[in-house]
Chains A and B, each alone.
Chain A
Amino acid sequence: MTQDVLAFRKVWRVGANIDTDALAPGAYMKHGIEVIAAHCLEVHRTDFAAGVKPGDVLVAGPNFGIGSSREQAAGALKQLGIAAVIAPSYSGLFFRNAFNLGLLLLTCPEAESLQENETVQIDCEGTPQVKNAQGQMLTCHAVPSFLMDMVNADGLVNVLKQRMADKAHNKTH
């Protein structure tokens, strides 16, 4: 499955400096991802986890995902069906975790011009672009191909699975 075009995605807006405790609250960390996801972002908006639909996108301010290495912060968004996060900047650790779980992050300097409930389209062919409701194109930073491959494989686990299978195959031939 490749995700070159994500059409007509509904925007959920949050602010700057969204931390991993907001995305995956510590009190629920001992539970599975379904439970953590049900409390995702509740410290900022209680309507998010219950209201978000698979394929929606999350638009945030700068420094999204700061804090812990807990990848459940990205996993919770994935679990809720978020198709992509669009923000001007990310925590580097969160950035790696998200792609490792197959969650697409777009670094978009103009992210904050997007509005709650707006419908957007994302084109990942070449340099990613977000088309807003007025039809304007917002250009995002390029995503290196090996990270895009990770998104298309739905995460590092599948990439490794393939790698291990290839290794076993090469051994027997």
Chain B
Amino acid sequence: MSTTRALPGELSASTSGSTLAQKLIARAAGEAHVNVGDVLTCQVDLAMFHDSSGPRRLKPMLAEIGAEIWDRNKVVLVLDHYVPARDADSEKIIRITRDVAKEWQLPHVIDSEGICHVVLPERGHLKPGYFCVGGDSHSPTGGAFGTYMFGIGATEMLGVVATGEIWVQVPQTLRMVWHGALQKGVCAKDMMLHMIGKFGMNGGNYQAIEFAGDTVRGLGMQERMTLSNMSAEMGAQVGLIAADNTTRDYLKSVGVADDVIEQSQYFETDDNADCQRFDFEASQLSPQVAAPHSPENTKAVAEYSHILPSVAYIGACTGAKLADLRAAAEVLKGRKVASGVQLMVAPASARDQAQATKEGVMQILIDAGASVLPNACGACAGYGGTFEEGATVISSTARNFQGRMGPASVQVYLASPATVAASALAGHIADVREVLA
């Protein structure tokens, strides 16, 4: 494939410094420098797929084209969408997935232990400098580790597992620079809802977003993951954050060997790189809520205080990681949810849940009235009609499309886990800052 064929609507080459995105692609393409708009073939360091997008679709297609997996050590399979089985059909999908995993002798299979985007880094699979693909739209989550990671469909995954390669067009970078400290109770999710409200669902135009500035530097890895995760809702290909000491500490904590951490590549955007820069003041940000049926319908929480949720849902890769569970517990400690509100918590991974149990976080949530659901995509995948006709839901998940989490009549408001917790307490959509004050 030619290295200079530009897709429509792209800028011409620039001669200034390189962005983080350019450096990551250049490494994967084996080039010294790449220009925005170039179309290149990249070598894939890691391919992740799950029970829905993975084996059940890949196996028959691999047989059809007469190919085998290019490198099973570079493949991670996660069972998270159809577990635990709800019916005979999902049971069948799970069985096929497990059978194929055995047949292919996949060394990295994570079965019913959490959501792919959370367990992938938790098991030390993501390293700074990597170029990765995932068979799921929230794959940009990996960008929080200084990794170029994006989502692809099952047929394109077939191409990756058969060849170890994929084409990519070097994106422009939209650099979101955040300054200062967030107010108490305001989370990464609020930053992201605010940005999606400002730029729109497709405002990322399949380019790269990079999160930077002292606010982002001050966030822990799981809060950073929330930013990268919802880059998908902005229509970006990737949501990158340059790896730093916080990344190194995380990798060490999940058991990545010191020499591997040191040998990883820690790229940064050059000062003279060509990007579109947007500045944000963290201290000015209120908790944000996105009204039905789009994450871009975002306003400050006060605009929605008349909404009375019947369900408060803390779940998904976006909103039920350990950091999210802690944020909810801080709000709910020693309190009970309002009558008429059902609080549901689906911790994003078994390890996060175990740690939350150890810290007393799970007990606080249970004492407040939460029912605890399995470590899986659950209601967020929308594969089972989770919420009932006419339900009003406040949710820490990423998407509130009509019909996604139940019948078309279900109204889903998106917010941070802290705001979901505060709203469950109050019985109406509430400002977490008032609870924590």
Contacts and interface: CB of A to CB of B under 8 A. Distances in A.
Interface of A: 17, 19, 21-22, 25-27, 29-31, 43, 62-63, 66-71, 74, 89, 91-93, 95-97, 100-101, 107, 141-146, 155-157, 160-161, 163-165, 168
A71 B82 contact: no
Nearest to B39: A144
B137 A26 contact: no
Contacts of A25: 403
Interface string B52-66: 110000000100111
B1 A21 contact: no
Interface string B174-198: 0000000000000000000000000
Contacts of A142: 8
Contact of B53 (A26, A66, A69, A107): A69
B64 A70 contact: no
B135 interface: yes
Given A29-B383, A91-B202, A97-B156, 18 more contacts: A26-B383, A26-B403, A27-B382, A27-B385, A30-B89, A30-B90, A69-B152, A70-B52, A74-B153, A92-B235, A93-B153, A142-B8, A144-B39, A146-B5, A156-B159, A157-B155, A160-B162, A161-B66
A62 B202 CA distance: 9
A26 B404 contact: yes
The 10 closest A-B pairs by CB, nearest first: A92-B206, A71-B153, A26-B382, A141-B8, A97-B153, A63-B202, A69-B137, A69-B151, A100-B155, A30-B89
B294 interface: yes
B399 A67 contact: yes
A163 B158 CA distance: 13
Interface of B: 1, 5, 7-9, 39, 52-53, 61, 64-67, 82, 89-90, 93, 134-137, 139, 150-156, 158-159, 162-163, 167, 200-202, 205-206, 235, 237, 294, 381-385, 399, 401-404, 408
Nearest to B406: A27
A142 B139 CA distance: 28
Contacts of B135: 69
A165 B93 CA distance: 30
Contacts of A144: 5, 7, 39
A67 B233 CA distance: 7
A89 B150 CA distance: 19
Given A30-B90, A69-B136, A164 B156 contact: no
Contact of A30 (B93, B151, B152): B93
Contact of A93 (B152, B158, B159): B152
Contacts of A164: 65-67, 162
A156 B153 CA distance: 11
A21 B155 contact: no
A91 B5 contact: no
A100 B156 contact: yes
* Residue among B66, B235, B382 facing the most chain A CB atoms (10 A cut-off): B235
A161 B82 contact: no
B393 to A, nearest CB: 15
Contacts of B294: 17
B384 A27 contact: yes
Contacts of B401: 19, 21-22, 67
A88 B404 CA distance: 25
Contacts of B156: 71, 96-97, 100, 156
Contact of B155 (A67, A93, A97): A97
B240 to A, nearest CB: 15
Nearest to B405: A26
Contacts of A43: 402-403, 408
A86 to B, nearest CB: 14
Contacts of A30: 82, 89-90, 93, 383
A161 B5 contact: no
Nearest to A68: B137
Nearest to A63: B202
A76 to B, nearest CB: 13
24 contacts: A19-B401, A25-B403, A27-B382, A27-B383, A30-B383, A63-B202, A69-B134, A69-B136, A69-B137, A70-B53, A71-B153, A91-B235, A92-B237, A93-B152, A97-B152, A107-B8, A141-B9, A144-B39, A156-B158, A157-B61, A160-B163, A161-B64, A161-B66, A164-B162
A95 B235 CA distance: 11
A147 to B, nearest CB: 8
Contacts of A69: 53, 134-137, 139, 151-153
B206 A95 contact: yes
Nearest to B6: A144
Given A107-B8, A144-B5, A157-B65, A66 B202 contact: yes
Contacts of A17: 201-202, 294
A51 B7 CA distance: 34
A101 B159 CA distance: 12
A157 B158 contact: yes
Nearest to A159: B159
A146 B66 CA distance: 22
